[in-house]
Structure 1
Amino acid sequence: MSLDLTYRSLVLSVAGNPRVEALIKGRARSLVRRYVAGESLEEALAVAEGLEREGVHAILDLLGEMVRTEAEARAFQGRILELVFSLAERPWPKYISVKPTQLGLDLSEGLALELLRGILREAEPRGVFVRLDMEDSPRVEATLRLYRALREEGFSQLGVVLQSYLYRTEKDFWDLLPYRPNLRLVKGAYREPKEVAFPDKRLIDAEYLHLGKLALKEGLYVAFATHDPRLIAEIRRYTEAMGIPKDRFEFQMLYGVRPEAQKALAREGYTVRAYVPYGEDWYPYLTRRIAERPENLFLVLRSLLGG
């Protein structure tokens, strides 16, 4: 396993310790606000409006995952619908992300399908695009079934995510191709066993570019979700060399990560979206951000020392 993946595995393991969680929740609030828009919908909308003024569009995401009861899942659906109704009143592009386990996937696939269907029924006529997030490997198959079922019901404003660090992803790509998916491509942020995921960052990066170029060749719209300057440079080089217009793909980055690069790409005419999370359930999200970038660990330590 590469040094990068060893670091990520260690961070995610330590972050699962209840004492570590309590310490970070109690003392790292300043760091949280670097990556999370706030706990309320109003704070998230204010951040999105600020990004729009800089030429960067927002992907709004109500934080929460792996709910334990149907009541929790239905409560999350209600809050996501509140987000949909609020976005419908805004003049800028409307785009949200939802996690299947937030809507009860671990309880019942049927429940998750019902709640997602309810969101899409309200979102599509209001011009709100919905991205179905991908979570860890045990949930990939069920998530893809949800996507296919909803597309077969006629919902068109629904996107899917593929993760380049999983061995299975190229097969999933070909299986999804008949649906002509709006595809978000990510490397993957969860702790995965070596039996299902590539063990080396170089292999993950190579697979990321392979899948992205394959999707572009097949005529799909691709959202390249990455902060890696080398990958971004190669995507730019490839699309220019192949004559692929800028309206066939976009770049996506996290709120608070490389904001100047986001604005620079937008000024050059690329579509850029920032993933803007909000809500009270921010700890799992923050720990994955720490695991992705070693420099974030130093920010955490500084926050803890400074209170």
Structure 2
Amino acid sequence: MQTRIRERELAKLTHRIGDAFFDTVESCQPHVLQAEWWHDWLMNQWMRDEELKVQTFRLIDALPALRSDEEIARHLREYLSFTRDGQRDAHAASADSPGGVQAANGEPPLRNLIAAAVGFRNPRGLWARCAARAARSAAIRMARTFIAGRDPDEAEQTIRAMRNRQLAFTIDVLGEAAVSESEAEAYQRTYLHLINELCRHAESWPHEPLTDLGDGVPIPKVNVSVKLTSIYSKLDPIAADAVCAAVKDRLRPLLRAGMRHGAHIHIDMEHYAVKDLTLRICREVFCESEFRDYPHFGIVLQAYLKDGDRDVADTVEWVRRRGTPIWVRLVKGAYWDTETVLARQRHWPCPVWEQKWQSDACYERMTRVLLENHEHICGAFASHNIRSLSHALALRQLLDVPRHRFELQMLYGMGDPLKRACVRMGERCRVYT
């Protein structure tokens, strides 16, 4: 039964929760003497320089193919050398120009400090070798910031550390879409191994009330997110019937493994071209008699899509027919650049909102629909935007949504003060890992 909400009351409560959220986040910021502070500062400086950011990503993309310190040193000099006026020039930096220009406040611009570091003349020299090894080490550290581990055992150590900080998790297998059926089958085996191994490890994890209970209702300790494009290489909506049948065959063993262990299995949403196909597969397989009564499955809806309002309404209607609640992770969406460029190139209608405020507004509309239907849907609100999270928290309070049917979600390696603030506020925060 829906509760009638006054808009003014919702706005005031959202504002009040937002103020408290900001204050808590501020108190959770790292101290200047902590390594996290310096890491965050350096990343912020790096991201502000668009050209430096692009050149760095190009270098990182090339690193796996570089076998020797000399090769890395050459690429460092070619990608990250800048002239003294701050313009990029692969031949400008030298050992004779270590300082670069000064910023207006006397602080050397970051790109000039980097140019000085890669200003060696001989890529075989000691300086060059040290720079190459430092670059390789920095790339590995950066990867570890965003990747939980190379295998289930390594990932389990990361998960234990998160649980020690009262953070829940959902874990994905790193990789892009499978390009062959042999690769897709390998991904399926990897997912099965991940589910089985994490559930085995979970038996020894200490109980954590904030992550494992909601109003006394148990919540699965293990939560795995699955990309359908990784377990089937031909996810093409043109052959929808055949593709649906094939993907469901590939997906059922993962769902059975999750049910056998009492784990949560969540199906990720990807690019727009496969959105409707993904929803169809989920709706069909989750309603099969074998899976219909299991409450620990989930899907993703994207608020940056112009279809968002329709998708959430259709989802509510479908879950009502299913009869067993299902989790919906609400995200803004991660493919905005790709979708807009593709639509422009092919002269198609753009499927995503062109302005950020439109996505934010759609997110709040979809949040409200999900929480107004909490008898049928469990809402997971994934965002690093305090306004969006505060709005969800305000609606949760006004609609009296049970805690076992509500949580916040954030990305691994980003916004750690925000996650700490959620924990201090007594909210379950699940980290997409």
TM bin (shorter chain): 0.7 to 0.9
TM-score, length-normalised on structure 2? 0.57
Out of 268, 276, 299, the residue aligned to residue 141 of structure 1 is 276
- What secondary structure, in the 3-state scheme, does the structure 2 residue paired with 1:62 have? coil
- Where 1:161 maps in the other structure, the secondary structure is strand
Report the alpha carbon displacement of residue 128 of structure 1 after superposing the two structures with TM. Answer: 1.1
1:86 to 197, 214, 227: 197
Q: d(CA) in 2 for partners of 1:187 and 1:51?
A: 24
**Separation (CA, whole Å) in 2 of partners of 1:130 and 1:197:** 27
Distance in 2 between the 1:18 and 1:139 partners? Answer: 28
Question: 1: CA distance between counterparts of 2:250 and 2:258?
Answer: 12
Q: How does 1:109-148 map to 2 (within 5 A)?
A: 109-148=244-283
Amino acid in the other structure paired with 1:161: V
| Highest RCO, 1 vs 2 (Cα 8 Å, sep ≥ 6) | 1
Q: Which deviates the most, 114-123 or 103-112?
A: 103-112
2:168 is the counterpart of 1:51: no
Do residues 39 (structure 1) and 163 (structure 2) align? Answer: no
Q: 1:280 matched to which residue of 2?
A: none
1:34, 1:67 → 2: CA distance?
Answer: 24
Partner of 2:62: 22
Deviations 1:123-147 (A, max 9, x none): 1121111110000000101101110
In the comparison of the two structures, how many residue pairs are matched? Answer: 265
Aligned residue among 367, 388, 391 for 1:212: 367
CA contact (8 A) 1:103 1:111 kept: no
1:259-270 counterparts in 2 under 5 A?
A: 259-270=416-427
1:255 corresponds in structure 2 to: 412
Please identify which structure carries the higher strand content. 1
Deviation (angstroms), 1:198: 0.1
The answer to whether the 8 Å contact 2:180/2:233 transfers is no
1:1-307 residue pairs with structure 2 within 5 A?
21-23=61-63, 27=136, 28-89=139-200, 90-91=202-203, 93-104=221-232, 106-107=234-235, 108-154=243-289, 155=291, 156=294, 157-180=296-319, 181-190=326-335, 191-193=338-340, 195-219=350-374, 220-276=377-433
Instruction: Give the Å deviation of 1:61.
Output: 1.0
How many percent of aligned residue pairs carry the same amino acid? Answer: 31
Quick check: 2:372–2:399 contact (8 Å CA) kept in 1? no
Greater Rg, structure 1 or structure 2? 2
Name the CA shift for 1:24/1:205 in 2 (closer, same or farther; >3 Å). Answer: farther
Task: Tell me if structure 1 keeps the 8 A contact 2:384–2:415.
Answer: yes
SS at match of 2:230: helix
Gaps of 5+ in 1: 1-6, 277-307
- Scaled by the length of structure 1, what TM-score is found? 0.79
Give the AA of the match of 2:254.
Answer: I
Q: Unaligned 5+ residue runs, structure 2? A: 1-46, 67-135, 206-220, 236-242, 320-325, 344-349
Q: 204-213 or 145-154, which moves further after superposition? A: 145-154
Distance of 1:142 and 1:19 partners within structure 2: 36
**Higher alpha-carbon deviation: 24-33 or 220-229:** 24-33
RMSD, aligned CA: 2.4
Q: Secondary structure at the match of 2:306?
A: coil
Counterparts in 2 of 1:140 and 1:211: CA distance versus 1, 3 Å = same
Q: What displacement does 1:260 show? A: 2.8
